[in-house]
């Protein structure tokens, strides 16, 4: 399927790119990242416009996010309950629930590009729980801009060497994810320590 889609990039270009990122945000198994890298490569040799490729990828992702959010808002818990019957989906939704519960707007932003497999499930969770649309949209748009810029830009820099570009991004994002986890854990421990100290002080005064 991936090779078939890549062969269509020169012919359908921007429309294909937008449709791919849109569908990937609905949890469909579409190789959106590979398509963006490829589009960046075509832009490097002049077959596509770089800024148009970036815009198509970002807009497709943004519209996909909104579709997922409003699906969650419209169909709510009953829809998610049906999805949870599948063990793999249930695991992803549980992780999305936990991330949204702890991080909110940061969860939406990071799940666009750093933890992208969780993105579609965060969209549904945000909608079904009534998370604020304005905050969701702000974080979602920012995240999709980062996602599109990273992949289309890297494909442009590597001029179509998709394998090398993908390996580099995978390594960099892996390191960023690890560092983010350490920072988040450190912040959680610091906040927990402050809470415990405040409770101890309050108990001492009483």
So what's the pLDDT on residue 193? 61
> Is the pLDDT score of 179 beyond 70?
no
DSSP string, the chain: -HHHHHHHHHHHHHHHHHHHHHHHTTT----HHHHHHHHHHHHHTTSS-HHHHHHHHHHHHHHHHHHHHHHHHHHHHHHHHHHTTSHHHHHHHHHHHHHHHHHTHHHHHHHHHTSGGGHHHHHHHHHHTT--HHHHHHHHHHHHHHHHHHHHHHHHHTTT-HHHHHHHHHHHHHHHHHHHHHHHHHHHHHHHHHHHHHHHHHHHH-
pLDDT at 79: 77
Residue 90: inside a domain: yes
| 53 lies in some domain | yes
Q: What percentage of the chain exceeds 70 in pLDDT?
A: 75
Write the pLDDT tens digit of every residue in 50-67: 999 999 999 999 999 999
Whether 195 is covered by a domain: the verdict is no
Between residues 168 and 46, the one the model is more confident about: 46
- State the pLDDT at residue 70: 95
Structure tokens at 87: 């063990």
Question: Mean pLDDT across the stretch 26-34?
Answer: 89
Q: Does the structure show a pLDDT above 70 at 178?
A: no
Return the minimum-mean-pLDDT range out of 57-71, 73-87, 113-127, 155-169.
155-169
In this structure, is residue 187 part of a structural domain? no
pLDDT at 88: 83
Q: Is residue 116 part of a domain?
A: yes
In this prediction, residues 156-177 reach a mean pLDDT of: 62
- Which pLDDT value is given to residue 166? 61
> Does the pLDDT of residue 12 top 50, yes or no?
yes
Instruction: Say what the pLDDT of residue 95 is.
Output: 81
Residue 205: inside a domain, yes or no?
Answer: no
Q: Which residue has the higher pLDDT, 163 or 166?
A: 163
Residue 129 resides in a domain: yes
Indicate whether 36 belongs to any domain: yes
Among the ranges given (12-26, 32-46, 162-176), the one the predictor scored with the smallest mean pLDDT? 162-176
Tally of structural domains, the chain: 1
Q: List pLDDT tens digits, range 104-147.
A: 788 899 889 888 888 998 998 889 888 899 999 999 999 999 99
């Amino acid at each position: 399927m991936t090779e078939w889609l890549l062969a269509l990039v020169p012919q359908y270009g921007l429309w294909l790119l937008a449709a791919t990122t849109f569908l990937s945000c609905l949890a469909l198994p579409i190789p959106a990242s590979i398509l963006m890298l490829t589009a960046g490569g075509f832009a490097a040799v002049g077959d596509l416009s770089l800024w148009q490729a970036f815009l198509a990828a970002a807009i497709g992702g943004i519209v996909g996010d909104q579709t997922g959010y409003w699906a969650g808002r419209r169909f709510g818990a009953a829809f998610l309950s049906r999805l949870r019957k599948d063990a793999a989906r249930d695991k992803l939704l549980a992780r999305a629930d936990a991330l949204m519960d702890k991080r909110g707007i940061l969860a939406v932003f990071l799940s666009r590009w750093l933890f992208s497999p969780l993105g579609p499930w965060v969209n549904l969770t945000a909608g079904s729980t009534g998370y604020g649309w304005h905050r969701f949209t702000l974080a979602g748009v920012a995240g999709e801009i980062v996602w599109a810029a990273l992949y289309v830009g890297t494909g442009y820099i590597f001029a179509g060497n998709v394998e090398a570009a993908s390996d580099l991004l995978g390594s960099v994002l892996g390191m960023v994810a690890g560092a983010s986890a350490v920072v988040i854990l450190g912040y959680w421990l610091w906040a927990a320590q402050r809470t415990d100290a405040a409770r101890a002080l309050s108990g001492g005064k009483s």
